[in-house]
Amino acid sequence: MAPRDEDEYSRRGFFQLALGWLAGAFAIAASAAGAVRFLMPNVLFEPSQAFKAGKAEDYPDASVTFLEEERVFIVRQGNTFRCVSAVCTHLGCTVNRAEGGYHCPCHGSIFDDQGTVKSGPAPRGLDWFEISVGKDGRLLVDKDIRVAADKYLVLSAKA
Amino acid sequence: MNAPLPKSLWRMFQRSRVGRSIFRVGLPESNLERSQAMVSSFLLHIQPAKVNKHSLKPGYTLGLGLISLYLFFILIGTGTLLMFYYVPSTERAYDTMKDLQFVVSAGLLLRNMHRWSAHLMVLFVMLHLCRVFYTGAYKPPREFNWVIGVVLFLLTLGLSFTGYLLPWDQLAFWAITVGTSIAGYAPIIGPKVKYLLLGGNIVGQEALTRFYALHVIVLPAVAGLMLSVHLWRVRKDGGLSRPGEAEDTVERIPLEALPQNKSYGLMELARGTTPQVGKNPEDEVFSWPHLVFREMILFLIVAAVVLFLAIFWNAPLEQFANPIHPPNPAKAPWYFLGLQELVSYSAFWGGVVVPGLLVTALMLLPYFDRKRVGVGEWFARERWAAISVFTVCLVAAIIFTIIGTLFRGPNWGWVEPWKTEQPPALEEH
């Protein structure tokens, strides 16, 4: 084998080497990217994030109702409704309703009635989801749409 | 028929054509055969024919690495058997656990052994890491084997984490919820990693399938491969570290500096052309029987302890996974409680930054602390600085773990374990 001194690379040798390395690197990168892409599912068989929450009359005035299946609280105060997520923003545990707010059992975050963080490691307040009235007059919640923590649904006084 | 019957029968078999084809060398009787026995056996050849006396001192290694290896073997054996019954389905996983507990012959025992070995393996891998640190065994030329060791430690944690999800009980469900949420806090790639781990946005069947595949094939295969490299390198880096080895080493003449038109034997290629200093015959004993028998006895002890624990203490199984209510408090296994305590201050700092920095520091340690002093002795005085830093981190980790284990009650609130009085239960919704 000829001694390989770095100074002795010819232009052709350099391009051959560069092409070889590039092709190899590309093949590995493409395989890795393909494998990661393969592991990212394109279709999810998960329950819809939008659901019907029943009639407004089902919720008594000044009440906080926990909807287990959906992991949300429906809060009614007079004619105003809001839907507060029961999923702790810290690490995803379900918060419990407690006096004056919500407590997370996993790492001790405490939220007030509005879902704002009072103490604990939660980085932000509990999510509020869009709540509206559907065509059939029932409440409609979409957990895919987060709203600001002051956007109540206000119903006309007859409800 | 003077010799006892079994022995003579065994000898007869060994000397037969079939026996010779299998064993080549029988039970060795001379020093030559003792070397041959090690070299010619597949199972024994990864170990040297002769071993330094210092490496055999129980007080030096405490056998921690070997114990971890044995626990890994037991885990593979029991885990393979458990796979014959377990079904990775959110609907059936819990039922198959109950079947193993109450219906399958020896199912309870096997599951208990698997669980106890897993807990012990986490413990002994940690202890092994501490031993290697406190004896300075990570210093050159063993830097890279230390890095592989850190990777093996992480793989051990990954194996135990993916493992305790599989029963699909309350612990499983909420551990996967919390664990993948922590991954989601990693900068930039966090949310993608979480999606990748769960195979979706919610903790469900896709997540269980993925963790199952990781637990039974991906992580064990990677761990097995790394383990092989780890053991192979112990020999290639000069056997176990021992005192005075740095002074003993003679710079080998690099082959490049020798005449290139000469052909070299395998020994010269592997070890250079200098005599092996520090390998004086009087310092060494034959691996057979001195090393091999000690290893066998240690395996018997490990197997006996695991069996003892598995017979008298059952692996817990919590209630069926309930995606609505986490248990209160929702606690991880003991080795993650320090992390859980950190996370209870901040998910990003406690769950991503601190563990990330600690692992990085561990991996880089041998490239910064590379002066070859105090190698092969416990708590060498010259290494006081490195030892102090490591000990502070270790003590902090232990304190956080103790707090997380004993001093945290419902809502992760502070409780004092010596007070039996339980705080009032939280009102339900």
Sketch the domain layout of chain B as residue ranges: 50-243+280-329
Considering only alpha carbons, which residue of chain A is nearest residue B261?
Answer: A1
Residue B280: the pLDDT is 67
Residue A39's closest chain B neighbor by CA?
B196
The pair of structure tokens assigned to A68 is: 């287990």
| Structural tokens at position A135 | 């065509």
Please, where are the H alpha helices in B237-329? 245-248, 266-271, 287-312
Closest CA to B339 of A91, A111, A102, A109: A91
Q: How confident is residue A3, by pLDDT bands cut at 50, 70 and 90? A: low
Is the alpha carbon torsion for B373, B379, B380, B382 positive or negative? positive
Q: How far apart are CA B286 and CA B53, in angstroms?
A: 9
Give A19 to chain B, closest Cα distance, Å: 29
Name the token pair of B147: 């890095």
Which residues from A are below 8 Å from B342, CB to CB?
A: none
User: Which of A65, A91, A97 has the highest number of chain B CBs within 10 A, making it the mutation to test binding with B?
Assistant: A91
Domain B50-243+280-329 - what CATH class?
mainly alpha
Q: pLDDT value at position B423?
A: 52
Average pLDDT over residues A14-42: 94
Residue among B223, B218, B215, B221 at smallest CA distance from B148: B223
Beta bridge partners of B286: B50
Instruction: Give the separation between CA B151 and CA B138, rounded to whole angstroms.
Output: 14
The reported pLDDT for the residue numbered A91 is 87
Select the residue of B174, B340, B427 nearest A98 (Cβ to Cβ): B427
Residue from the list A91, A93, A98 with its beta carbon closest to the beta carbon of B182: A91
| Chain B positions touching chain A (beta carbons under 8 Å) | 174, 177-178, 181-182, 192, 195-196, 199-202, 204, 206, 323-330, 340, 343-348, 350, 410-413, 426-429
Nearest C-alpha neighbor of B121 from the set B148, B157, B151: B157
Tell me what pLDDT residue A4 has.
Answer: 57
Residue B134 is given by DSSP the state H
Q: What is the pLDDT along chain B (429 residues), one digit of tens a residue?
A: 455 556 678 778 888 889 888 887 777 888 888 888 888 888 888 888 888 888 888 889 999 999 999 999 999 999 999 999 999 999 999 999 999 999 999 999 999 999 999 999 999 999 999 999 999 999 988 999 999 999 999 999 999 999 988 999 998 898 888 888 888 888 888 899 999 999 988 889 999 999 999 999 999 999 999 999 999 999 888 888 888 776 666 566 666 777 777 777 776 766 655 445 556 667 888 888 899 999 999 999 999 999 999 999 998 888 898 888 888 777 888 888 888 888 888 888 888 899 999 999 999 999 998 888 888 889 988 889 999 999 999 999 999 999 988 888 887 888 887 776 555 555 444
In the numeric block, the tokens 């028998």 are attached to B293
The C-alpha of A45 sits at a distance from chain B's nearest C-alpha, in angstroms, of 9
SS3 of A111, please? strand
Amino acid at B20: R
Q: What is the pLDDT of residue B24?
A: 79
- With CA atoms as reference, the chain B residue closest to A46 would be B202
Angle formed by the axes of helices B219-236 and B143-163, nearest 10°: 160
Q: Which residues of B touch A94 (CB under 8 A)?
A: 324-326
Question: Do A121 and B350 count as a contact with CB atoms less than 8 A apart?
Answer: yes
Tokens 């626990």 belong to: B71
Q: Which chain B residue lies closest to A42 (C-alpha atoms)?
A: B200
Q: A50-154 has which CATH code? A: 2.102.10.10
* Chain-chain contact of A92 with B181 (C-beta, under 8 angstroms): yes
In sequence order, which ranges of B3-140 are alpha helices (DSSP H)? 5-15, 17-23, 31-40, 58-61, 64-83, 93-102, 107-134
Q: Do A105 and B326 touch (CB under 8 A)?
A: yes
Residues of chain B contacting residue A98, judged by C-beta atoms under 8 Å apart:
426-427
Nearest to B429 among A90, A92, A96 (CB): A96
Contact B181 A36 (CB under 8 A): no
Would you list which residues of chain A are within 8 Å, Cβ to Cβ, of chain B? 36, 39-41, 44, 46, 64, 66, 68-69, 71, 73, 90-94, 96-99, 103-108, 120-121, 123
pLDDT of residue B428: 45
Angstrom distance (rounded) from CA B53 to CA B263: 34
Instruction: Out of B181, B413, B428, name the one closest to residue A91 (CB).
Output: B181
Task: With CA atoms as reference, report the closest residue to B385 among B368, B363, B360.
Answer: B368
pLDDT of residue B322: 87
A97-136 tens-digit pLDDT: 888 889 988 888 899 988 899 988 898 999 999 998 888 8
Q: In chain A, what percentage of residues exceed pLDDT 90?
A: 31
Structural domain boundaries in chain A: 11-39, 50-154
CB B101 within 8 A of CB B111: yes
- Given this model, what pLDDT does residue B422 score? 55
Centre a 10 Å sphere on the Cβ of residue B52 and count the other Cβ atoms it contains: 19
Q: Report the candidate in A60, A69, A75 with the shortest Cα–Cα distance to residue A128.
A: A75
**Residue, of A158 and B309, whose pLDDT is higher:** B309
Give residue B114's pLDDT.
97
Distance of CA B77 to the CA centre of its chain: 15
Q: What's the CA gap between A61 and A64, in Å, rounded?
A: 9
Q: A90: which chain B residues are within 8 Å (Cβ-Cβ)?
A: 181, 347
Q: How long, in residues, is chain A?
A: 159
- Sequence-separated (6 or more) residues with CB below 8 Å from residue A115: A84, A85, A102, A125, A126, A127, A128, A149
Q: Which of A104, A130, A131 is nearest to A115 (CA)?
A: A104
Q: How many CB atoms lie within 10 A of CB B281?
A: 7
What is the rounded distance in angstroms from the CA atom of residue A71 to the CA atom of residue A93?
10
Residue B111: Cβ within 10 Å count? 25
Burial string for A130-140 (b: 16+ CB within 10 Å, else e) reads bbeeeeeeebb
Residues in chain B: 429
* Minimum-distance CB partner of B195 among A40, A91, A106: A40
- In this structure, are residues B58 and B291 in contact, taking their beta carbons and an 8 Å threshold? no
Helix (H) or strand (E) holding A137: none
CB spacing of A103 vs B426 below 8 angstroms: yes
